[in-house]
Amino acid sequence: MAQNADLHDEAEVLRIIADQQKAVCAKDVDRIMSHYAAEFCVFNVKPPFQIRGAAEWRRVWEASLAHFPASFGMETRDVVITMSGELAVAHYLARFTGLPGPPFWIRVTAVYRRDGGRWVIVHEHSSVPFDPETLRVVSTLEG
């Protein structure tokens, strides 16, 4: 029975990842925000280094999405989810498609907590690797 519950919970986290990305592509900030806990922390791929709480994170999304074209997509790969009781951790690679310039991969790690029967994000960390010799961002999987 526990294994079925874990599979259900894992499927729910996968659904949240997919819905969050659809919300980003739809520029639906309310839907994006619906997946976060009341209190959370984000380490975003761009400054500021640390974002705490819904008001600040909403402002980041509103400012960022204003620079995106009317239509774009997202691709995700290599999703790994680890479940343990009331916590889940997901890590995966994601990239935007349909934007000007070459697409680049972002590494994402998200921590979820079961809250009132639903999974919500309590911490999210997005990053891009860099080459320590050149200090340049490595934007491809081969790089």
Contact status, residue 36 vs residue 58, Cβ threshold 8 Å: no
pLDDT tier, 131 (very low <50, low <70, confident <90, very high otherwise): confident
Render pLDDT for 67-100 as a digit per residue (tens, 0 to 9). 999 999 999 999 999 999 999 999 999 999 999 8
Domain parsing of the chain, residue ranges: 2-137
CA distance 110 to 121: 7
Strand pairing category for 36-43 and 118-127: parallel
Arithmetic mean of pLDDT, 118-124: 97
Render pLDDT for 23-73 as a digit per residue (tens, 0 to 9). 999 999 999 999 999 999 999 988 888 999 999 999 999 999 999 999 999
How much is the pLDDT for 107? 96
CA distance 101 to 50: 27
How much is the pLDDT for 108? 97
For the purposes of burial, counting CB atoms within 10 Å of the CB of 142, is it exposed (0-12), middle (13-18) or buried (19 or more)?
Answer: exposed
Arithmetic mean of pLDDT, 133-139: 77
Yes or no: is domain 2-137 CATH 3.10.310.30? no
How much is the pLDDT for 100? 87
Q: What is the pTM of this model?
A: 0.90
Mean residue pLDDT of the chain comes to 91
Secondary element (H or E) of residue 59:
helix 54-65
